[in-house]
Structure 1
């Protein structure tokens, strides 16, 4: 439970679904250019199939490729996740994490000072504290001690100087402002 020096604690259970979620989130957060490129190729294939006089076989192929690229936009993350899952052989692990004045401490020895946090991301079930594309801490909303997600978000945002992002929007449900915001964040990172 919470000690006097720790502000928040959490335990994350890593199973196949959690690993898939982590890889998908990392993909959505750090692979914006790749996602936009896939969308551009998909649109080009669909436009080619619909508006150009090409043979029927080519039209069908372009329609299939364009549709697949849109519907399976997180396919690269699935491939990576399945590789890790295969290596783990179905094993589940539990990781404890503490947030104190100095930063984030994970029981495996990883320590991330707040100033080194690159991105703060949330979805409906987890908070993600990314140091970089390869290093992140995943904290379940339901497993947070004390159970106060709003206070947790405010504390981490203040300490890190970063704003929280929501991740996981599909291109199919995005509007123009979502796309503009996504491109701005990608440009800031360069």
Structure 2
């Protein structure tokens, strides 16, 4: 699936994830959930953010080590620093966009990597303290899935693990409008599947 390949490219191809490193995943969409599962399988520590304590509990069940509700911790980057002895994370799966990027920079360690994947909170960054970005020597990568070679490597890896897509809801093709309504309401956890009808 596209979400898994995007997570793979962010963590493996661009991030060179190593066991013992720390990964921050944002939210409970398909990319973040695949990134969580992959990072744990590769021996990383995972910090997860969400606006819902109920969804954070589900992330914990999938293996997240540290949970941060960004509604109750607006400057959640500080909470990430507190959870990492003020060091920061090695990798950020940045799906929020403009509304989360500054906190992602705050949460990233010296020499860390931010994989820019989505713009769920908007495409424009309100404020970023540029010296924080370059003084911390943070590397950023724009991620839009991957190529065939990456896909084959990912499939070969996934076949050796128990990583599976997390399907929140399944809709028939005739229920497409309801599926989009669910997505827009942020009521899902993981992927929304559309089943083609015979």
TM-score norm. by structure 1 comes to 0.29
Could you say which structure has the higher helix fraction?
1
Higher relative contact order at CA 8 Å, sep ≥6: structure 1 or structure 2? 1
